[in-house]
Amino acid sequence: MELPPRHLSATGGLFAGRSPLYEGVRIGLAGRLGGAEMSRKEELKKGRIPLQTFRADIDFASEEAYLPYGVIGIKVWIYRGNVYQDKKTKVQMPDA
């Protein structure tokens, strides 16, 4: 049996079960993953992440990990569902 790379097994707990907190998660890793000579990109997805709509409630975070063999970039998108505005609520423009 072949084990997954360490950078993928570290995120395994996130994708283990269904969470009511989110509808979709996307994690992007880039850099010298596993200490390899050539850098590469890996992406993990669970659920859906609609990036082309304004209604989607998406949290985004980007960070860099400085390691002895290089820098690894980490990007995370968490989709929490759509946001619908109540029709009774009026939108007020800020005063200039």
Report pLDDT for 37.
Answer: 84
Lowest mean pLDDT among 10-14, 29-33, 67-71, 83-87: 10-14
pTM: 0.69
Q: Using CA atoms, how far apart are residues 90 and 88, in angstroms rounded to an integer?
A: 6
Report d(CA 50, CA 24) in Å as an integer: 9
- Domains of the chain, each with CATH number or no CATH: 20-82 (3.30.1140.32)
Distance of CA 94 to the CA centre of its chain: 32
pLDDT digits (tens, 9 = 90+) for 6-58: 655 556 555 666 667 788 899 999 998 887 888 889 998 888 888 888 888 88
